[in-house]
Amino acid sequence: MLLTLPGAALMPVVAAARDGVEVGDNSMFSQLVPADTLERSATQQYAQMLQQAAANQALGGRDHPQVRRLRGIARQIIPHTLGWNPRAKNWRWEVNLIGSQQINAFCMPGGKIAFYSGILSQLKLTDDEVATVMGHEVAHALREHARERMGKNAATNIGASLLSSVLGLGQTGQTLTNYGVRLLTLQFSRSDESEADLVGMELAARAGFDPRAGVSLWQKMAVASRGAPPQWLSTHPSGSTRIADIQSNLPKVMPLFARTSHRSE
C-alpha cells in the first residue's frame, strides 16, 4: 500500500549551514547506474516479494496492529528525507510487514520498506527503536548505497573500455540494468552501515523519536546475535563499535529531538 502524505509534507530540512550529523558526498560510483532504472527494478522486485508473501499468507494486512504502527512511524520520518535526497519527493513510499522469524528489515531504492515480524517480536522494539531501524534502512536508500555498490561492481565487471560510454548507456546501460536482480540480496560495506546509522539517527530525531534508542537497540541486537548473527547483522560493524559511534554523535542530534519534543508539548 502506498503511503499518502500531506501535499506539503516533503520539505527540505537540510540548510546550507546545516545542523545534525556529518557525512561525505555520495560516491561517484553511483553515477554509473541510472537511478530511475534502479528504482524501477526495485519496484518490480518489491512487488514480487509481496506477491510471494501474500501467497504464503505471510503479508500483514492494512489493519494489522504492527502494520498500522510501522506506517504511522514512517509517516513521521518520510517528510524529513528530502534534505538528504531530492529524488525522495517523487518516491512512491510503501511500508509492509512480512511474517517471518528473521530479524531483518530493509528499504529498497525508491522508498520500498519491509519489516520482518521477527525483528519486532524477538527484540520487543519500542517505537523509538523501530524508528531507529527504519531510519537506518531509509538512509541506505537516500544515500544510494545500492546504486554505489552496483556501480563498483559495474566498474569491475564492465572494464575501463566501456566506462567511457556510460553517459550514453547503450550496452553499458543494459549491463547495469541486469544488476537489479541482486537487490534483495545486496550487501553493503561496513562504511555504508556506519553512515546509515548516523543519517538514520538524525532522521529519527527530526521525526520526534529519541535517538538514544540506538544504544538500547544495539544492546538487544548483541543479545540476539549470540551464536549465529541475525541476517540483519551480517555485514554490520560490531555492536560495541556502533554504540560508541552513536554515543559520540548524540550531541549533534539531541537538539533536533529536543526541538521536536518541545513542539509536541
User: Would you call 75 exposed, middle or buried from its count of C-beta atoms within 10 A (0-12, 13-18, 19+)?
Assistant: middle
Residue written as grid cell 528525507: 81
C-alpha cell at position 142: 537516500
Backbone phi and psi for residue 83, each to the nearest 5 degrees, phi listed first: -65, -20
Query: Residue 217: which residues within 8 A CB-CB, separation 6 or more?
Result: 123, 125, 129, 132, 133
Strand partners, 105: 115
Among 129, 137, 144, 202, which one carries the catalytic annotation? 137
- pLDDT tens by residue, 118-136: 999 999 999 999 999 999 9
- pLDDT tens by residue, 224-263: 877 555 555 555 556 677 889 899 999 999 999 998 865 5
pTM above 0.85, yes or no: no
180: left (phi over 0), alpha (psi -120 to 50) or beta: alpha
Percentage with pLDDT > 90 across the chain: 50
Q: Which pLDDT does position 189 carry in this prediction?
A: 79
Residue 264 has pLDDT above 60, yes or no: no
Q: How far apart are the C-alpha atoms of 201 and 19, rounded to whole Å?
A: 13
- pLDDT tens by residue, 24-80: 666 665 666 778 888 888 899 999 999 999 999 999 999 999 999 999 999 999 999
193 is a catalytic site residue? no
